[in-house]
Amino acid sequence: MKKDAIKDMIYGGLLELMRNPDNYYASSVDFKYNHFTKEGHEAVGSFVSAMCGMIHNIEASDLDARAKELMLQDLKKTY
């Protein structure tokens, strides 16, 4: 999975949470009155935790790929 896909998932996931009135109150008066409900805070916490796991896996894969590429470049210089 790519970083751009995670960004899209985060945006889309938060948008879906905000669209649910059980999770998010959107004021018709002013956006400064908008807020997550108690259930919404819990949902956001769970969602962010899940996304952090995915981000960690992507970063670990990227680091592994970079390390392998550096090793291959070093081996090519040696031989």
Q: Give 31-67 pLDDT, tens digit per residue.
A: 999 999 999 999 999 999 999 999 999 999 999 999 9
What pLDDT does 75 receive? 87
* Whether the predicted pLDDT of 79 surpasses 80: no
What pTM does this model have? 0.76
Indicate the helix (H) or strand (E) that contains 32: none
What's 24's DSSP letter? E
User: What is the b/e burial string over 37-52, where b = at least 16 CB atoms within 10 angstroms of the residue's CB?
Assistant: eeebeebbeebeeebe
Cα distances (angstroms) measured from residue 51 to each of 2, 26, 68, 69, 78:
13, 24, 26, 27, 41
Give tens-digit pLDDT for 1-23: 788 999 999 999 999 999 999 99
Which residues, listed in sequence order, are joined to residue 31 by a DSSP beta bridge?
A: none
Calpha distance 60→9 (Å, rounded):
19
